[in-house]
Amino acid sequence: MVTAKIAVSLDRETVQELDRLVAEGVFQNRSRAIQEAVQERLSRISRDRLARECAKLDPEFEARLAEEGLAAEVEQWPEY
């Protein structure tokens, strides 16, 4: 994985908690802890966005649409 260095400012209490977790072996180092936290947050944002978009769908319409496409395909399937 190619990485890029960035500067991040955190409040003193957050840094102390981060250092405690590193000392306890929860994370290898500060960078890894912050990397995992950012990745988790970005993933959560993506899942939330997907859930919001899925909530906009009409389940009955989607079911009819799926059945309509399937019915057309079934007619073309060979007999076994």
* Rounded Cα–Cα distance for residues 41 and 77 (Å): 45
State in Å, rounded, how far the first CA of the chain is from the last one: 50
* Rounded Cα–Cα distance for residues 55 and 62 (Å): 12
> What pLDDT digit, counting tens, does each position of 22-56 carry?
999 999 999 999 999 999 999 999 888 888 888 88
Query: For the chain, how are helix, strand and coil distributed in percent, rounded to 5?
Result: 70, 0, 30
* Rounded Cα–Cα distance for residues 6 and 3 (Å): 10
How much is the pTM? 0.61
Tokens 């970005």 belong to residue: 42
